[in-house]
Structure 1
Amino acid sequence: MASKVAQKRLQKEYLAMQKSPPPFIWAVPEEKNILDWHFIIRGPPDTPYAGGEYHGLIWFPSDYPFKPPDVKMFTPSGRFECGVKICMSMTSYHPSTWNAAWSVATILTGLLSFMLSDEITAGAVKTTDVQKRQLATTSHAFNLNNKKFREIFPTYATSQMTDLPDMGKQPGADSPSGVTGSESSVPGNSDNDTPLSSAQSTPATTAASTRTQSPAPNPLSPVNNNNNNNPTSASGVATTLADTKQQPLARQQRQHGSRWMPSWRWLVAIVVLAVLGRLSTGKE
């Protein structure tokens, strides 16, 4: 029977496991005995255990965390003997090296690390990588035949393996925005709430709608900046053509300078000369 200290500590570790389990690891205590913890270890990628599912047990002493637990594996892995205590620095084989600060997560992370090594100790066996891979492919079927596995892990006792909460992937690795699924949705407009996919809501679409709704330039949109001088804009093209037609007349005005005189000045000069001519004729 667990002491009050052990029970309180293991209850705290259960909550920690539920909240943030280690990569490739999952563990839960038995309903009637909190000192017995069943665990699942999944073989990490790029190892001989990839695709494997390994069921084991940690049983804690009643005065845990002041004494270390024992660990054994039930699923054949090619690394450990089934149902035999495994010698590690975190187990009862080495009580002098035990640290009371170590937890369920620490023990299982250490077990996975030891599993990936080649060190041979009590409870360990030596096999080839080919044998380990073969055992990995049959591991889930082996576990399904274990009544205890089905009782403790009903979520994972399915025909196809179900991923553990942490399979070693970073949050949002498959999607840069961190949103799962093939499309991420954004709120629709105020008239209706039809969502737009991320592919539809692009900077180009936003710029086009800005030009349609308001003739004023949008400094945040590169395609709408200085629209009158933009050769890709229809109004910009028309303005450019009009300026081109006006350039010869302006150039002539600059070239002739003061010699270019509007027609109304000539009329005034002719009238003045005619009046002077008449006056001079009357005097004679």
Structure 2
Amino acid sequence: MATRAAQKRLTREYKTISENPPPYITAHPSESNILEWHYIITGPENTPYHGGQYWGTLIFPANYPFAPPAIRMHTPSGRFQPSSRLCLSISDFHPRSFNPAWEVSTILIGLLSFMTSEEMTTGSVSASEVERKYHAARSRWWNSTGGGSQARNPANKGNIKAGDGGAKFKSEWPEVDAENWTWMKEQGIDTTTGNKIDTGSPSCGPQLGIAAGSGHQAHAVVDAVIQQRDAGQGWLFRNKLALAGGLIFVYVLIARLLGETS
């Protein structure tokens, strides 16, 4: 349970960060526990996280601001191990280095700065730019479905672990969750796999611009093609089979006549 000082301080900081949120960052305390804060970092431009939606938590100690929070990022990012405590100078790994003047916004700005660097620490991972862009593209889907397993994770408060999402994300970010589902529908995202749904069928060649069910139009196009083909060919070419048959008949007739007169 938060001390009176922590309660007062975090209430004031929530008002401040709501009225003047830092760039790419939004955050709020859980309705059931003011010591449990949820944040979303939107990936900045010119980074492999651009457009990504990264959800995480700050778990403050009861004696905040005289001790720092535990910092976790739950959304897979290619930068941090999902839901692992991060060892930073602003986290609970280093309580002696924490400055009580630092606020929630200071902590989250520091986290964003570290995220966009390549420095390694406990809880961070190495990944390629391609891998991080891949995670960014799937982050909305992961948050709102729990990685395609939204039915598996009930909306329990607290105790968030790797693989959680879906109902837990929705319980803290209902408006963002609704936006994510709309986005997935518009983009044609399979909510089970996070991949785009392939609605097309393979084609072996160019397709004619003929609407399905327009049979008479199809015949008209075929007739026109035949007419164009015939227009470029002479009478002899079009009737070559008949001429060949006639010549054979004449040859046989002459041969018989000559045989009778000999």
User: Quick one: which amino acid aligns to residue 125 of structure 2?
Assistant: V
Aligned to 1:192: none
Q: CA shift at 1:108, angstroms?
A: 0.4
1:30 is matched with 30
Does residue 153 in structure 1 map to residue 173 in structure 2? yes
SS at match of 2:175: coil
The one-letter code of the counterpart of 2:98 is W
**Amino acid in structure 2 at the alignment position of 1:68:** P
TM-score, with normalisation over the residues of structure 2?
A: 0.60
Partner SS for 1:17:
helix
Q: Which amino acid aligns with 1:130?
A: V
CA 1:160–1:87 in 2, change beyond 3 Å: closer, same or farther?
A: farther
Q: How does 1:113-128 map to 2 (within 5 A)?
A: 113-128=113-128
- How far apart are the structure 1 equivalents of 2:35 and 2:107? 14
Task: Identify the residue that residue 275 of structure 1 maps to in structure 2.
Answer: none
Give 1:282's aligned residue.
none
- CA distance in 2 between partners of 1:128 and 1:62 (Å): 38
**For the residues of structure 2 that align with 1:151 and 1:104, how far apart are their CA atoms?**
21
Query: How far 1:94 moved relative to its partner?
Result: 1.1
**Structure 1 unaligned runs (5+)?**
162-284
SS at match of 2:45: coil
Alignment of 1:172-191 (within 5 A): none
Question: How much does 1:92 deviate?
Answer: 1.1
**Greater Rg, structure 1 or structure 2?**
1
State the 1:136 CA deviation. Answer: 0.3
Q: CA RMSD in A?
A: 0.9
Using the alignment, how far apart are the partners of 2:96 and 2:36 within structure 1? Answer: 22
Q: Following TM superposition, by how much is the alpha carbon of 1:80 offset from its aligned partner in structure 2, in angstroms?
A: 0.2
Q: Give 1:154 deviation, angstroms.
A: 1.1
Q: 2:50 matched to which residue of 1? A: 50
Residue of structure 1 equivalent to 2:72: 72
Q: SS where residue 33 of structure 2 aligns?
A: coil
Q: Aligned equivalents of 1:18 and 1:38: distance in 2?
A: 13
Unaligned runs of 5+ in 2: 146-165, 184-262
Counterparts of 1:154 and 1:23 in 2: how far apart (Å)? 21
Aligned twin of 1:21: 21
> Secondary structure, in 3 states, of the residue corresponding to 1:45?
coil
Q: Name the aligned partner's letter for residue 37 of structure 2.
A: W
Q: Which amino acid aligns with 1:156?
A: V
Name the SS of the counterpart of 1:102 in structure 2.
coil
Matching residue of 2:82:
82
Counterpart of 1:61?
Answer: 61
Count of residues paired in the alignment: 161
| Structure 1 segments of 4+ aligned residues over 4 angstroms from their partners | none
SS of the residue 1:156 aligns to: helix
**Identical residues among aligned pairs (%):** 47
Q: For 1:226-245, list aligned pairs within 5 A.
A: none
**1:41 match:** 41
Which residue does the alignment assign to 2:101? 101
- 1:151, CA displacement in angstroms? 1.0
Deviation readout 1:30-76 (Å, 9 max, x if unpaired):
10100000100000011000010000000000000001111001100
Counterpart CA distance in 2 for 1:143 and 1:103 is 26
Partner of 2:238: none
What SS does the aligned partner of 2:57 have? strand
Question: Helix, strand or coil for the counterpart of 1:23?
Answer: coil
Q: How big is the shift at 1:160?
A: 4.6
Change (3 A) 1:153 1:61: same
The whole-number CA distance in structure 2 between the counterparts of 1:17 and 1:119 is 27
Distance 2:51 2:64 in 1: 33
Equivalent residue number for residue 130 of structure 1: 130
CA distance in 2 between partners of 1:22 and 1:133 (Å)? 23
